[in-house]
Every structure is written in structure tokens, then in C-alpha cells.
Amino acid sequence: MSSTSQKHRDFVAEPMGDKPVGTLAGIGEVLGKKLEEKGFDKAYVVLGQFLVLRKDESLFGEWLKETCGANARQARDCAGCLREWCDAFL
């Protein structure tokens, strides 16, 4: 089992609210800006895409790679963060 980042732990520790997209694990300043330019400015908007894809981490990872150029690790970190958040709050 891989360990999670502090960013991941901070994100899943509380309700999402209006957190910016950059608060998601795996999403830094560059990817965050690319997502914002495509209309995904808040973490909950990215969560919506994750849910539309039926929480399929593989499909979500492909979408993230195509949408903002995320690499495999960034996509995996973001999907894992959203999955864990969903498990805790949905």
C-alpha cells in the first residue's frame, strides 16, 4: 500500500466546500491552471466528472491525462484522493 501525501490527507479530512481545484492531491499549480481554463475551477467540479465516470479510477485517469496533461502518478493520486473523499462523505 502506498502512502498518501499530506495534501491528500488534508483534503479527505473535511467536507469539500468551495475548495479550489489545486487542493486535490496530484493537482499542482500548472495542472490546476489548465483545468481552470477548461472550466474545472473547483474541486467539486472535478468530483462531478469523477462521479459521471462512475468512480472508475482508470477512466478518470485517462480523462485527466487528456484534459490537462496529467501523468500517470498525478492521475492516480487525484483519483485516489477523490475515491477516499467519496468513501468518507458520500
Q: Residue 25 — left, alpha, or beta (φ > 0 → left; ψ -120 to 50 → alpha)?
A: beta
Q: What residue has cell string 481552470?
A: 36
Please write the tens of the pLDDT for every residue from 66-84: 999 999 999 999 999 999 9
Distance CA 39, CA 77 (A): 21
CATH of the domain at 43: 1.10.150.40
Q: What's the pLDDT at 2?
A: 57
Residue 14 lies in domain: 6-89
Rounded average pLDDT over 10-20? 95
Please write the tens of the pLDDT for every residue from 17-66: 999 999 999 999 999 999 999 999 999 999 999 999 999 999 999 999 99
Report whether pLDDT(1) > 50. Answer: no
**Cβ-contact 23, 11 below 8 angstroms:** yes
Distance CA 15, CA 66 (A): 28
Report whether pLDDT(86) > 50. Answer: yes
1 occurs within a structural domain: no
Count of domains forming the chain: 1
